[in-house]
Every structure is written in C-alpha cells, then in structure tokens.
C-alpha cells in the first residue's frame, strides 16, 4: 500500500525480458458441481442457482526487468525524497501520538490503574492491523485516479503493484507524511480535549500503528540484511508484518494478505474469505467488479531480481 504516486516511467527502458506465467483472473459464472468421468473431473455444466468462481485462461505476458541505468536513476528521483513539509507533517503526527500516549501513562499513574490502559493499547494495536487490511483491500480493488479524495492514493496503489520495490527507496518522511497528516487532524483534538487514560491508550497505539504502517510496509519489502536487528526480531516474532508473509500479496491471485501492520488478521480474513464475500455483495448490489477478479498481469519485480539484473550489466 503505497500512499504516494509511484514512478510510472521506471519500466520504459527494458533491457531483459524473462517469460513468466500471467496471473489467471477470475470471472463470476453460475453453474452446478463438476461431473466426473472415470475419476476425472470434467467442465461444469451451467445452470441457474449456484455461484462459483471460474478461472479464465489468457496468454502469458512477459515480465520485464529494469535496466541498471533506469534503476540507479530512481535513487536520485526527487519524488522519492523527503521535503521540509513532509518532515513537518511527520513531526506533527509523532507529537500528536506522543501526547496521547503520555496522557495515558500519566493518567494511569495518577489513578493507579495500569491494566485497563494496557489492554486498550493492545486492542488499538490489533484493530490498527485490521483497519490497514480493510483500507488496503478497498484501495486495491475499487475506484481509479478520478475518485474523489482517494483518487491519488488509488493510482499510487496500482503503481506500487507494478513496482513494489520503489517503496524501499522512499525516504522516511516522504513515505509517512500523508498518514501523519491524517493522524494529526484526527487525533490532535482528542489529545487536547480528553484526559481519559484508557481512551488515550487505545487512540495513541492505534493511531501510531496506522501512521507507521507505511514504514512497516516498506520493511516488508526489504531484505533482512538491510533491516535493523530490532525490526527483524519483531518481524520474526510476528509483531510486524514480514517480507515472507507480505510477498504473497504480490503474487497470483493478488487477493490476500492485505493487512500490513502485524499481519495477524491475514490468516483469518483469508480463510473465512471475508473480502471475497464483500466483493460478491458489492458486485450484486452495486455492480462493482473488484480488480482482483480481472487483473490480467503484473509487471513488477522484487528488489533481489533487479539487483541481479543490474550486477549482470
């Protein structure tokens, strides 16, 4: 989930093409169960009354790699750098979160209650992961660049699916400022007006995780050798979403592992097919078809693949 616009020109210069299987999109059909002849399943017979998802076969599309000159030009791309306004918003967001957490700690100390604020913070951490997944699913699957309010983010998310490695090249404030700005506007009034330590335990932890979810996301696209030992330890412990877990989101069928804080909700959401159920409801009620049903191909390549290509030249 990348908030800022990705670099659409990155694949304009192509030096190597490696054939790869194209993701097989899905389409909605009405049918009954497969018939079996001599133990072999045959094509389903269509009939009214039963809904299944059938896969649609299309021709493979080549996966392209970025050549070395294009790759290294990204490192100096101004759109990946932090500006003073970016840093100001991140500073404001961090200050807002710290005020909320400080009020929770001070209030808990003065009232001699620690368990309730701690539990509220835990709930905030857990719900932040769920919120990141719901938001990520919606942005990935619905709307376009012309959508009010969210259009820029929707367009950026699509760019991230083509070039996910660029998120690791974004500077810290550049990657976080949009969420920091939203947290500042939403949480600052609460931080200033309310003194309840339990509420602040929840608000401070939840808003902090949401604001830093983009950094957790970037770490999930980085190699462990490039990460601080504490981050690697937290990923291994399941406290932060890991590269192994998040990588499945960038593979066919591109409809799972949406949560990017800790990822603790991913297994439950995927096994219960909650998002698929929501997609069905939106499709039959509003006629909205999610992109995950028909996404024809993905021209993205992971960081390790790019480095292999650049070192070969």
pLDDT (tens digit, 9 = 90+) per residue, 187-199? Answer: 999 988 999 999 9
By percentage, how much of the chain surpasses pLDDT 70?
Answer: 67
pLDDT in tens, 64-86: 444 444 455 555 667 778 899 99
For 111-124, what is the mean pLDDT? 95
**Do the domain assignments include residue 50?**
no
Question: For residues 183 and 93, what is the distance between their CA atoms, to the nearest angstrom?
Answer: 6
**Do the domain assignments include residue 48?**
no
Find tokens 């028909």 and name the residue. 294
Nearest to 104 by CA among 123, 85, 81: 123
**Do the domain assignments include residue 35?**
no
Q: Quick check: 103 and 207 in contact, CB under 8 A? A: no
Q: Identify the pLDDT of residue 250.
A: 80
Q: Quick check: 34 and 46 in contact, CB under 8 A? A: no
The full length of the chain comes to 313
Q: Is the pLDDT of residue 216 over 90?
A: yes
**Do the domain assignments include residue 33?**
no
33-47, 87-101, 259-273: range with lowest mean pLDDT: 33-47
Structural domain count of the chain: 1
**Do the domain assignments include residue 112?**
yes
Q: Identify the pLDDT of residue 76.
A: 62
Range of the domain at 257: 14-22+58-312
Q: Is the pLDDT of residue 147 over 70?
A: yes
**Do the domain assignments include residue 245?**
yes
Question: For residues 174 and 160, what is the distance between their CA atoms, to the nearest angstrom?
Answer: 15
110 Rama class: left (phi>0) / alpha (psi -120 to 50) / beta: alpha
- Report DSSP state, residue 4: S
Q: Is the pLDDT of residue 312 over 60?
A: no
**Do the domain assignments include residue 3?**
no
For 99-124, what is the mean pLDDT? 95
Q: Quick check: 211 and 97 in contact, CB under 8 A? A: yes
**Do the domain assignments include residue 80?**
yes
């Amino acid at each position: 989930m990348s908030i800022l616009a990705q670099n659409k020109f990155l694949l304009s210069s192509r030096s190597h093409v490696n054939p790869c299987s194209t993701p097989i999109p899905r389409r909605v059909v009405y049918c009954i169960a497969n018939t079996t002849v001599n133990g072999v399943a045959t094509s389903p017979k269509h009939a009214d009354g039963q809904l299944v998802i059938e896969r649609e076969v299309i021709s493979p599309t080549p996966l392209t790699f970025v050549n070395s000159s294009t790759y290294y030009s990204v490192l100096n791309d101004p759109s990946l750098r932090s500006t003073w306004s970016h840093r100001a918003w991140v500073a404001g967001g961090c200050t807002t979160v710290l005020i909320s957490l400080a009020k929770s700690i001070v209030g808990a100390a003065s009232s001699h209650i620690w368990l309730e604020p701690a539990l509220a913070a835990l709930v905030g951490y857990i719900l932040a992961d769920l919120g990141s997944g719901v938001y990520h699913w919606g942005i990935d699957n619905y709307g376009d660049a012309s959508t009010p309010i969210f259009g820029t983010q929707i367009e950026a998310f699509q760019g991230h699916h083509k070039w996910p490695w660029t998120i690791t090249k974004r500077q810290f404030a550049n990657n976080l400022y949009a969420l920091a700005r939203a947290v500042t506007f939403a949480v600052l009034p609460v931080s200033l007006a309310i003194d309840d330590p339990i509420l602040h335990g929840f608000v401070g932890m939840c808003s902090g995780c949401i604001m830093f979810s983009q950094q957790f996301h970037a770490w999930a696209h980085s190699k462990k050798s490039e990460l601080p030992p504490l981050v690697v330890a937290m990923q291994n412990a399941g406290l932060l979403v890991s590269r192994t877990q998040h990588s499945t989101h960038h593979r066919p069928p591109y409809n799972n592992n949406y949560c990017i804080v800790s990822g603790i909700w991913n297994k439950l959401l995927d096994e219960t097919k909650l998002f698929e159920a929501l997609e069905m409801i939106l499709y039959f009620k509003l006629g909205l078809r999610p992109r995950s049903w028909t996404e024809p191909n993905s021209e993205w390549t992971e960081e390790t693949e790019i480095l292999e290509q650049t070192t070969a030249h």
